[in-house]
Structures are given as C-alpha cells and as structure tokens.
Amino acid sequence: MIPYTPARAATHIPVIDLSGSFQPGPAQDEVAAAIHRACRETGFFYVSGHGIDPELVSGQIEAAQSFFALPEETKLDVHSSKSPHWRGYQGTGGQVLDEGSAADYKESYSIACDLPEDHPLVVSGVPGQGPNMWPQGLPGFKEQMNAYQAAAIDLGRHLMGLLARSVELEYDYFADGLGEPQCGVRLLRYPPQPEEAAGNMLGAGAHTDWGSITILLQDGKAGLEVCNADGEWILATPIEGTFVINIGQMMERFTGGIYKANLHRVRNGAQDTARYSVATFFELEPWYRMGVAPTCRADDAGEPEPGLTVAEHIDQMVKATMNTGY
C-alpha cells in the first residue's frame, strides 16, 4: 500500500504541440525530443494540436455521463463478469490498483476492438480478444464510442512513431505491430471522495499503466495526480483541448528503463459532483513481443529475452487487479 499524502500543484508536466509533427522534418524531430525529455522526467505530458475533432471529444464525455446515468439494472446487463474478454461495466469496488489499499472508488465501462467470434485472434484464444457488450437505451452511444476509438487509434499510431523517433529510431519502427493495434476505451466515473475513506481508498490507487500508451481525456475537474522524478505528487490539472499522455510498462521495457512508467492515482477533489474521464489504452498487436530498442541497449548486453507478448502481459495484469464481484 502507498499511503495517501496530498499532491501539490503541477509545475512541470509539459504541453507538447503535435501540429508540426505529422510530416518528417525538423518540427517532427523537435516534438520527438520534447517527448524524450518528458518521458525521462515524469512519463507524462499533455498533447495539443492532435487533430481530433473537438465535437467528437466533447461527445465522448457526454457518452460517459449518459452511460453512468443509466439504471443500475441496465448497467448490470453488461457487467464485465458476463464477458470473457474484459469488456463491460464494473461497479464501485471492482478493481484494486494499489495492492494493500481499499478497492478503487470508481465505476467503469470498457470496450476494445470489437471482433466477431470467428475472427482468427478469437478462434486462436488470444487473451482479451472478442466482441464488446453494448448497453440498451442509449441511441448513438455505440456510434460515438466507435468513432472516438478510431480517432484514438490514429493518434496512437502517430505517438508510437514519435516515441520511436524519440530514441533515434525510424518513425515506422513499429509498423509491423500497428496493422491491427489494440485499443481499449474505458469510461470512468469517480464519485465525490468520502471525507472518511478507510484503508487508503482513492478513486484509483497508485499504479503504473501496463501497456504502451495511455491517452486520457478529462472532463475539466482535477483529480489525476502524478509522481514525478523527485518522488513528489503533482496535479495533472485539465487543460482544454489537450489529452494527457503517459507511457506504460511496455514502453519502459522498450527503452531498457530509460523511460519510466511512473506512478499515478486519482482522487476526485470535488465535494459534491462526480468526475468523468476517458482512458484509452493503445497497444501494439497482441502477438507483438516488446524487446529492448537497439538504441537503448549497451553494446555488450547481448540479445534481450523476448519476454511476454502484449496480450500475455495485459492478461496477467488484468487478472491481478480485477475483483470478480459486482
């Protein structure tokens, strides 16, 4: 357990403008260098100039609000216990991200790449692959979720190229793992934090993310707190028109530990209103084995162990943190 101590105001989570990075050249190299600095210091940065339609972004927060306003029985119809693929609804207490702390004080609803049961990944039994579960009574909800996911996939592909450039590799270094990338979209609702929260209970306990990139959309209410390189907790205050980007354990492995998958947590500071966010987890194809980048290995280090595939790693982490009850 990591006991809760109050965070201080953010001072150095950078905002990186992506608008000049979509074509090769000096501007792309400057963005890659800024990402390199951010990943060494906090593992977190904001991105502006990302090109995603503001109406699609605002519609995604509205989709989250609409889903969690559904009657409890409707949400339970798509409870994650009914899906073998980690999709669907989780009620408050459904996950423990900080081992030893109380269960997280949040609700969630998740989709991923919506694959039919006869898709080769599903037939071959790759963990986490299959169809989504969609709630009833929300016209346009599925269309909004799918459109947002598609936009996030485009952004994720670009960020993976910039991350490759940030360690002096070619932009298309990950191309063979980006044909059918994995992209989980998770709607989150954090109720107001109870004044007396026993057992170090937070909206989301201190943890590092498991995969490659997380693309976070915030609703305007503060709550995300990040541990910086000095071990200090700082607030990732929402900035309109941006996403918060952080790297996960797969990217830490890729850089041989040069980049850090840093601890973060969520505590809704609002006294009487819920906080909504959308976390998008962008991963390479499930079969991809993330080795250490050739530019990040010592000359005498030898060939690194191939390690787990993306799907195997995520499967282990889901099973370690998810409660099975409602």
CATH of the domain at 33: 2.60.120.330
pLDDT at 228: 76
In a domain, 236, yes or no: yes
pLDDT at 268: 87
- Ranking 50-54, 234-238, 291-295, 310-314 by mean pLDDT, the lowest is 310-314
Token pair 């798509």 is found at: 78
In a domain, 2, yes or no: no
pLDDT at 216: 97
Q: Could you please report the per-residue DSSP string of 47-87?
A: EE-----HHHHHHHHHHHHHHHTS-HHHHHTTBGGG-TTS-
In a domain, 291, yes or no: yes
More confident residue, 90 or 318: 90
- What is the pTM for the complete model shown? 0.90
**Which residue(s) pair with 8 in the sheet?**
234
**Residue 250, Cβ neighbours under 10 Å: how many?**
22
Token pair 């995969």 is found at: 211
In a domain, 181, yes or no: yes
% of the chain beyond a pLDDT of 70: 90
Beta carbons of 260 and 297 less than 8 angstroms apart: no
In a domain, 31, yes or no: yes
More confident residue, 34 or 128: 34
In a domain, 1, yes or no: no
In a domain, 211, yes or no: yes
Q: Which of 32, 14, 46 is nearest to 158 (CA)?
A: 32
Domain range for 112 is 15-321
Q: What is the mean pLDDT of the chain?
A: 87
In a domain, 182, yes or no: yes
pLDDT at 291: 83
pLDDT at 298: 67
Average pLDDT over residues 150-157: 97
More confident residue, 68 or 232: 68
Q: How far is CA 200 from the centre of its chain?
A: 23
Q: Could you please report the per-residue DSSP string of 181-237?
A: -EEEEEEEEEPPPPSS-GGG--SEEEE--SSSEEEEEE-S---EEEE-TTS-EEE--
pLDDT at 139: 96
**Count: domains in the chain:** 1
The pLDDT of residue 155 is above 70: yes
Q: How confident is the model at residue 77 (pLDDT cuts 50, 70, 90)?
A: very high
Q: How confident is the model at residue 313 (pLDDT cuts 50, 70, 90)?
A: confident
